[in-house]
Amino acid sequence: MTHETLLQISSIVLLLPLAGFAGIIFFQKKLGRAAGYIGSSILGINLLLSLLVAYQKLAFYSDAGMLQWKFDWLNLGSHPITIGIGLDNLAAIMLIVVNLISFLVHVFSLEYMREDIRFPRFYAYLGLFTFSMLGIVIANNFLNMYIFWELVGISSYLLIGFWYEKDSAADASKKAFITNRIGDFGFFAGIMILFFTYGTFMFDDIFAHIGEGHIPFDSGTMLTLAGILLFMGAIGKSAQFPLHVWLPDAMEGPTPVSALIHAATMVAAGVYLTARIFPMLTADALLFVAYIGAITAFIAATIAITQTDFKRILAYSTVSQLGYMIMAIGVGAYSYGFFHLVTHAWFKACLFLASGSVIHAMHHSMHHAGEHHMDPQDIRNMGGLRKKMPITYLTFLISTIAISGVPFTSGFLSKDGILAGTMAFGQLSGHWFIAFSGFASAAMTAFYMFRLLISAFHGQPKTHIAAHTHESNKLITVPLIVLSILTFWFFYSFNPFDGGSGWFYEKIKTPATVVQAEHQWGFFVPYESSHSHSSACCGEHITSPAEEHSHSHEKDTHHALNKFEEALHHAHLPAMIISLIVAGLGIFLSFSFYQFKIFNPDGVAELIKPFYLLSYNKWYFDEIYDASVIWGTTTFAKLLALFDLYIIDGIVNLVGWFTKVVGHFIGWFDLYVIDGLVNLTANVTAFFGLVFRKFQTGRIQAYIVMTIIFAMVLLYYVL
């Protein structure tokens, strides 16, 4: 297939869901349930087409960089505004991710949303979302990116608020949209800077300009600022600290939506954006990105430990994992970051869909029992679901293992790479906090995920509702199975311990930075910067195949093009060991708490009187020590949760409140001062009229006197 054909197929892939959306939204009533099948088949076709495109791209045009199709969109005289679509390896893989998950969610929802009164509209919105998301994926310029960026925002808004009768859902959707808008504001500001400086939105043109040393306002700071502003879009969309607050609330949407949008695809758009702009990020901007990611990963993980709502745990987990990816890109572990995006998409989608399956089952059970007040999403109401819902359990288990970073899973491969990256970064730059955060989060992830798994599926049912659940039907389980299978290692690399040796790493190479050396980390600057400049144009393609070839001979199998790559390679082994340890520790603790009840999970209460226990059970010293660490961690997590709830969220609310107050004041000001001035003018005018009117007393002699007085005054002035 030629470039053109590939791009044409990509356009079809892009437009099909839109057609689905339009078709369904206009004929909602007529279509009824057929809408679901139409939507699913469209996505099925889309999936096949995207597989074809991705295969073609990766197999035959892997080194061709970004295949682009540009056209003039608006011509304002001076120079046209060009937009278009582009397809590179990154986009090709994303196409599969988006279409596959979207397809599975479509199928899943056939069952899950069966009884919803707005069933067709749900599919219409899903179509709209898929269209928008694909638009982001194959954008080759900032304008397209921003357009579709907003469109996914709106689809997310519509889907979170799908059950808009619930105030909480409506609130959540609004919160999500507005929080995102704050991020988008930065994103747009960044775009403005770039457009102002370069007069184009095209990635390749902009990067080429930067590569030539042409930077905004001739100031490295401004380039950093532009990068950070662009990244603000990612902060919003990918729910990074401090804008992460919307994501947990977004769980008010239907669970398939959570799986599709708020776990696998849309929230990953931020990561995708960060990956796209990676070449133009300066050292400071990268550091900012890395720290944001690290902080997010850590905070979210600590919070997840204490949550009890099934979906919220997953939501915090998502935030944490997104932080991971952002952090990865920030430290320069670009390929692993994107790798994690893909692997995370599978297992997190699986986890969410499994949670959907559970909730669905709980709902049914509640419906049968005539119980309406229980929270079907609270893990304290579950337990023992393993036997009732074996397939759901199994897939959930596999995904949990994957997210915890256990070997032989995709999660291990990607996470390990990221951790190696953070270590390499720490080593080269001295910023060790990032690595620390990475490992800590890894441990906590393992802990809370297993806690979730155990509480929900293991042990005995805690309520009669949980006891009477049934496995969901095939429409639900098949997607779960597909997704859980995708978490095995061999899809990505035949070596289960080294993601770097697989095809994935081969195809997704870290693009060389185009930023001038004085604004960039030394260890990111390519060894042969003269070469990279000439070809630094589009995303990942910096090195010509010939160069690559020569590198691969020099530097082992890993064609390191800068110091960082080398360090990364060397950090692999220690990172793997540490990560295995922390993950194992997490899992172990989790099991000992919740499965084997070595410690009563409610033991926190007993720890209030720790001296007695301490003296009585001396030889349990280690366990007590562990317990105190757990206590400390949980307390800290609680504190952070409170922090999140009251401070971060509080700040958000405070800003909201403040804005409202200012709005109130302005409203008042407008009504009484500005308008008051207008009315005052009128009143003063009228007042003078009133005064002059008083001269007209009706008595002729008074008139005469006044005439004479006036005439005298006039005389006085004339003389």
Partner 1 sequence: MEIGLTHYLVVSALLFSLGVFGIVTRKNSILVLMGLELILNSANLNFIAFSKFKGLNIEGHIATLFVIVLAAAEVAVALAIILNIYQNYHHIDVDEINKLKE
Partner 2 sequence: MFTIFGIGPLTFITFLPLLGMLILLAIPSGKDEKTKETSINLLRWVTVGITFIQLVVALLIYANFRTDLVGVNDPNSFQFVEKVKWISVKGLPLFGDLNIEYFVGIDGLSAPMVLLTALICFVATFSSWSIKKAHKGYFMMYLLLDLGMMGVFVALDFFLFYVFWELMLLPMYFLIGIWGGPRKEYAAIKFFIYTLFGSVFMLLVMIGLYFSVGSFNLLDMMNPANFKPGEIFTGFQTTWRLVAFVALFVGFAIKVPTVPFHTWLPDAHVEAPTPISVILAGILLKMGTYGMLRVAWPIFPEAVAYFNNYIAFIGMVSIIYGALCALGQHKVGKRDLKKLIAYSSVSHMGYVMLGISALNSNGLTGAIFQMFNHGTITAMLFMIVGVIYDRAHTRGLDEFGGLANKMPVYTGIMAIAFFAAIGLPGLSGFISEALVFLGAFATYPVLTVISALGVVLGAAYMLWALQRMFFGKLPERWSGPWDPTGKEYKHDDINGIELAALVPLAIVVIFLGVFPGAVVNLMTSSVNHLIEIVKIGGQFAGM
Partner 3 sequence: MDSLLSLFIGQYVADLKRSLALFAPELVLATAFVLLVIVDLIFQKSKYITGVVALLGFAVATIFMIVSPANTSFGFWQMYVFDPFSNFFKYIFLISGFAVVLISFFSNELNKSDRTMGEYYTLILGMTLGMFVISSAGNLILIYLALETMSLSSYVLAGYTKEIKRASEASLKYVIYGALASGLMIYGISILYGLTGTLSLFQINAFLTQYQGPVFPLVVASLLVLVGFGYKISAVPFHFWTPDVYEGAPVAITAYLSVASKAAGFAVFMRFLKAGFIDPTNASEQVWTMVSSIDWKFIVAVLSVLSMTIGNFVALWQTNVKRMLAYSSIAHAGYMLMGVTVMTEGGYIAVMIYFFTYLLMNFGAFYVVQLIANEIGSEELEDYNGLGYRSPLLGTAMAIFLVSLTGLPPTAGFVGKLYIFQAVINSNMIWLAVVGVLNSVVSLAYYAKVFRNMWLRGVDSNSAPLKYSIYAQLLVYAFVIPTLYYGIFWTPLVFWAKSSVMMFIGK
Size of the site for partner 2 (CB under 8 A): 55
Report in angstroms how near the CB of residue 188 gets to partner 2 at its nearest. Answer: 6
**230 or 560: CB nearest partner 2:** 230
**143 or 508: CB nearest partner 2:** 143
**209 or 533: CB nearest partner 2:** 209
Check the CA dihedral 492-496-498-502 and report its sign.
Answer: negative
Residues 6+ apart with CB under 8 A from 379: 308, 309, 310, 313, 452, 455, 456
Residue 171 binds which of partner 2, partner 3, partner 1, none (CB < 5-8 A, kind-dependent) = partner 2
Per-residue contact string for residues 612-651; x = within reach of partner 2 by CB under 8 A? ----------------------------------------
User: What's the Cα-to-Cα distance from 605 to each of 564, 590, 623, rounded to whole Å?
Assistant: 48, 18, 16
Restricted to residues 67-126, the positions that interact with partner 2 (CB under 8 A) are 73-78
Query: Counting contacts by CB under 8 A, is residue 59 touching partner 2?
Result: no
Query: Of residues 21, 61, 112, 146, which one binds partner 2 by CB under 8 A?
Result: 146
Query: Counting contacts by CB under 8 A, is residue 27 touching partner 2?
Result: no
Using alpha carbons, select from 223, 324, 337, 234 the residue that is nearest to residue 283: 223
Using alpha carbons, select from 318, 310, 354 the residue that is nearest to residue 479: 354
Query: Counting contacts by CB under 8 A, is residue 182 touching partner 2?
Result: yes
Three-class DSSP category at 8: helix
Report in angstroms how near the CB of residue 686 gets to partner 1 at its nearest. Answer: 14
**75 or 696: CB nearest partner 2:** 75
The residue type at 422: T
Using alpha carbons, select from 340, 171, 160, 382 the residue that is nearest to residue 256: 160
**75 or 696: CB nearest partner 3:** 696
Report in angstroms how near the CB of residue 708 gets to partner 3 at its nearest. Answer: 9
Report in angstroms how near the CB of residue 673 gets to partner 3 at its nearest. Answer: 22
**625 or 687: CB nearest partner 3:** 687
Residue 174 binds which of partner 2, partner 3, partner 1, none (CB < 5-8 A, kind-dependent) = partner 2
Restricted to residues 448-477, the positions that interact with partner 2 (CB under 8 A) are none
Give the Cα separation of 335 and 340 in Å (integer).
Answer: 8
Report in angstroms how near the CB of residue 148 gets to partner 2 at its nearest. Answer: 7
Q: H-type helices in 487-609, by residue range?
A: 503-507, 529-535, 545-554, 563-590, 603-606
Query: Counting contacts by CB under 8 A, is residue 177 touching partner 2?
Result: yes
Residues 6+ apart with CB under 8 A from 537: 65, 204, 207, 208, 211
Query: Of residues 670, 683, 702, 706, which one binds partner 2 by CB under 8 A?
Result: 670
Contact in structure between 107 and 126 (CB atoms under 8 Å): no
| HEC-encoded secondary structure of 657-706 | HHHHHHHHHHHHHHHHHHHHHHHHHHHHHHHHHHHHHHHCCCCHHHHHHH
Radius of gyration of the chain, Cα coordinates, nearest whole angstrom: 30
**596 or 692: CB nearest partner 3:** 692
Report in angstroms how near the CB of residue 157 gets to partner 2 at its nearest. Answer: 8
Residues 6+ apart with CB under 8 A from 34: none
Report in angstroms how near the CB of residue 511 gets to partner 2 at its nearest. Answer: 26
Give the Cα separation of 360 and 366 in Å (integer).
Answer: 10
Contact in structure between 46 and 16 (CB atoms under 8 Å): yes
Residue 689 binds which of partner 3, partner 1, partner 2, none (CB < 5-8 A, kind-dependent) = partner 3
Three-class DSSP category at 117: coil
Residues 6+ apart with CB under 8 A from 173: 156, 157, 158, 160, 161, 164, 250, 252, 253
Phi then psi for residue 65, to 5 deg, are: 70, -145
Contact in structure between 349 and 487 (CB atoms under 8 Å): no
**150 or 471: CB nearest partner 2:** 150
Residue 298 binds which of partner 2, partner 1, partner 3, none (CB < 5-8 A, kind-dependent) = none
Restricted to residues 624-683, the positions that interact with partner 3 (CB under 8 A) are 682
Three-class DSSP category at 74: strand
Report in angstroms how near the CB of residue 643 gets to partner 2 at its nearest. Answer: 24
Three-class DSSP category at 382: coil
**145 or 640: CB nearest partner 2:** 145
**655 or 704: CB nearest partner 3:** 704
- How many other C-beta atoms can be found within 10 angstroms of the C-beta atom of residue 524? 25
* Residues near partner 1 (CB under 8 A): 693-694, 696-701, 704-705, 708
Per-residue contact string for residues 674-713; x = within reach of partner 3 by CB under 8 A? --------x--xx-xxx-xx-xx-x-x--xx-xx--xx--
**460 or 701: CB nearest partner 3:** 701
Report in angstroms how near the CB of residue 71 gets to partner 2 at its nearest. Answer: 11
Check the CA dihedral 699-705-708-714 and report its sign.
Answer: negative
Residue 477: CA atoms inside 13 Å, Cβ hemisphere, count? 12
Query: Of residues 647, 662, 713, 714, which one binds partner 2 by CB under 8 A?
Result: 662
Query: Counting contacts by CB under 8 A, is residue 483 touching partner 2?
Result: no
Report in angstroms how near the CB of residue 589 gets to partner 2 at its nearest. Answer: 43
Three-class DSSP category at 471: coil
**647 or 678: CB nearest partner 3:** 678
Give the Cα separation of 161 and 176 in Å (integer).
Answer: 10
**149 or 521: CB nearest partner 2:** 149
Check the CA dihedral 511-514-516-519 and report its sign.
Answer: negative
**656 or 689: CB nearest partner 3:** 689
Phi then psi for residue 116, to 5 deg, are: -75, 140
Residue 59 binds which of partner 2, partner 3, partner 1, none (CB < 5-8 A, kind-dependent) = none
Residues binding partner 2 (CB under 8 A)? 25, 73-78, 143, 146-151, 154, 157, 161, 164-165, 167, 169-171, 173-174, 177-178, 181-182, 184-185, 188-189, 191-193, 195-196, 656, 659-660, 662-668, 670-671, 674-675, 677-678, 682
Residues binding partner 3 (CB under 8 A)? 682, 685-686, 688-690, 692-693, 695-696, 698, 700, 703-704, 706-707, 710-711, 714-715, 717-719
